[in-house]
A and B are shown apart, each in its own frame.
Chain A
């Protein structure tokens, strides 16, 4: 019941047997190169990027880093387990609410506060997913859509905490006078420091995702995605691993919400419309759900591209249309998304050009 029926790992087991040494080098060289590229990119983002771009673009980069956690969580659900959630943006808002509530109500240190936000949001997300585990994929998607719409309504009435009293922590008298943004500890006050925090947290979340996919959980998810009845027959505890996936995705989204609550400008109830949950699934599918590069591409599409368009004087609405076309294209022809499809297309193109050149020289 997966969104895309062919997974990139499908061909891995069919490799011809080779000598142990050749096998080792064939595995290790690309893996080493990949690790090197990832480390270089990470270090570039962490050390060089804040010095290279203006404060405005640094804030955009921070948003991209935060949203890459959200796209990662959805890509894990869709790509690894085959479950579609249409409520991820609402969960992000819940994460923001919890973080602000904790921030104004307690004096937890920042990392603990993020962790607590993730755990509480994880519990909320699990509650939403719980009933849906008995239902098929379509109904899970619908129940998350309903829950997202309901959460949006509640948030618009209760507002985000701004230091008021009571459970909701919102005071109309304080509205506009204080920022609804969470106070960051002094060492994180500058935007470049906060960008680094966002990048590090995002990297930790990606590591968490990679660790899960490579462990027992990832194998169980793969079995569920291919066929739930076969997974049950093979002794996989389907309910547990589906719930685990939902809890993990909600945890990640909650952490992202906590970061968002502490970023500049704070949160407003109009920043989390239900529409964004749909845009989110669109960019996640376009970026690709099988590769860990996909969520990064998705976050760039979601948060960087609109700013670039605005910068060039083009209406960002065009992007919504493009995302819609992208979803249909992914559904019809390219289930692995841009992160896999573009390199494949480029490789095909270069092979084509090389072929043309070779035949050209042969003709001479």
Chain B
């Protein structure tokens, strides 16, 4: 039995980030019915922009990171304002396919502007760390896990206790009736787009440190977060977080086993497929927003 402790740390950090982005996906889906498949691409472009600001323009690190997070929020908000309302009455499938168009625009932009060289982005928190027994734990790993937990709690509290949060939940039930009740639907939806976008920006930065700043890799890590969101039935934030952590842990802990190690990146997909089978044939009910 190989020593799993270093992989536990890696897995919890990665799982925290999966949870973070899963929560971003679920909050947006609950409020607007849009499953934003461009989530990963937004984060990746944000991280690349931060890289440019630091290396080409010489901006201080923290300023660049703030810009990346703000970029995530703004570009997602702009998409939401432009394409949210015209597609609002359509099937969730159509809304999701439209975000694939958005994904392609971002992917094309990134590979056009950035594919000439390899990039790397290391958050300064990585330099700070402490030893836990024989395992070195760095600040970014703690940040990943911590943000995952904190954002899940904050989002749950936000949806439960604030006025906008309650409006988002009622939007999830019925858009037209919510509008009749006098809720400013578009403004509430815009808030969801902005919040989800900010989370995607943060996710992009964390993942580019934890996994690597790779355009296609980061863009499609959204599929892994999507698995967590699906296990949470695109509804439950706590289940999404738990699933994110579980996926991260299993994926990392498979690394030292040579027979299954090379297949470890399949973990999120297998989790999601099993979950969908369970919901399809079991007692579960899936949210259709």
Contacts and interface: CB of A to CB of B under 8 A. Distances in A.
B97 A141 contact: yes
Nearest to B96: A138
A275 B35 contact: no
A274 B268 CA distance: 15
B178 to A, nearest CB: 21
A326 B101 CA distance: 7
A325 B105 contact: yes
A134 interface: yes
A6 to B, nearest CB: 13
B286 A321 contact: no
Interface residues of B, number: 47
A84 interface: yes
Classify chain A: how many residues form its interface, as a range: 35 or more
A146 B223 contact: yes
Contacts of A137: 91-93
Contact of A146 (B106, B227, B262, B288): B227
Main secondary structure of the interface of B (DSSP, over half): helix
Main secondary structure of the interface of A (DSSP, over half): helix
A131 B277 CA distance: 6
Contacts of B83: 328, 331-332
Contact of B104 (A1, A150, A157, A282): A282
B104 A279 contact: yes
Nearest to B282: A134
Interface stretch (A113-121, A195-203, A311-319): A311-319
A328 B102 contact: yes
Among A136, A137, A146, A332, the one with the most B-chain Cβ atoms within 10 Å of its Cβ is A146
Contacts of A332: 83, 86-87
Given A142-B272, A324-B108, A153 B266 contact: yes
A188 interface: no
Given A139-B276, A142-B272, A327 B281 contact: no
Given A131-B276, A327-B98, A136 B103 contact: no
A134 B280 contact: yes
Interface in A119-161: 131-132, 134-139, 141-143, 145-147, 149-150, 153-154, 157
A252 B280 CA distance: 27
A157 B263 contact: yes
A281 interface: yes
A315 B105 contact: no
Interface of A: 1, 3, 84, 131-132, 134-139, 141-143, 145-147, 149-150, 153-154, 157, 273-275, 278-279, 281-282, 285, 315, 317-328, 331-332
10 tightest A-B contacts by CB? A327-B101, A320-B108, A324-B104, A324-B105, A321-B108, A317-B112, A134-B280, A150-B269, A137-B93, A146-B269
5 contacts: A131-B281, A139-B286, A146-B276, A149-B269, A153-B263
